[in-house]
């Protein structure tokens, strides 16, 4: 298998896995996003002990880290 074929295969596998996990998470939350609110990436890190990491799709869309973070954890509305 050439390097190009291997890259294409890995890309395809990554896309499949991303879709499978997305569907699994959607099923888990019944289509609703969890209501977890973090002020910013630093707040997320301090509360979870984890570093925020962008996913492959967010990187491919050239989102900033803040945009990617807000996509997953929207700001709390004042409703």
Rounded CA separation 51/67 (Å): 15
In the chain, the number of structural domains is 2
Half-sphere exposure of 65 (CA within 13 A, CB side): 7
Does pLDDT of 64 surpass 70? yes
Are 40 and 10 within one domain?
no
Same domain, 38 and 20: no
38 and 59 share one domain: yes
Q: Does the global pTM surpass 0.85?
A: no
- Residue pair 41/65 in contact (Cβ under 8 Å)? The answer is yes
Q: How confident is the model at residue 34 (pLDDT cuts 50, 70, 90)?
A: low
Confidence of residue 15 (pLDDT cuts 50, 70, 90): confident
Which residue range is the domain that position 13 belongs to?
Answer: 1-31
Distance CA 76, CA 53 (A): 21
Q: Are 25 and 40 found together in one domain?
A: no
pLDDT at position 16? 86
Q: Which residue has the higher pLDDT, 21 or 18?
A: 18
Judge if 46 and 78 occupy the same domain: yes
How many CB atoms sit inside 10 A of residue 59's CB? 12
Identify the sign of the CA torsion 35, 39, 42, 48.
negative
């Amino acid at each position: 298998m050439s390097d190009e074929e291997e890259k294409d295969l890995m890309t395809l596998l990554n896309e499949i896995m991303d879709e499978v996990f997305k569907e699994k998470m959607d099923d888990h939350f019944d289509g609703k996003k969890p209501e977890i609110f973090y002020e910013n990436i630093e707040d997320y890190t301090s509360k979870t002990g984890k570093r925020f990491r962008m996913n492959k799709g967010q990187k491919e869309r050239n989102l900033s880290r803040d945009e990617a973070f807000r996509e997953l954890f929207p700001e709390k509305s004042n409703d």
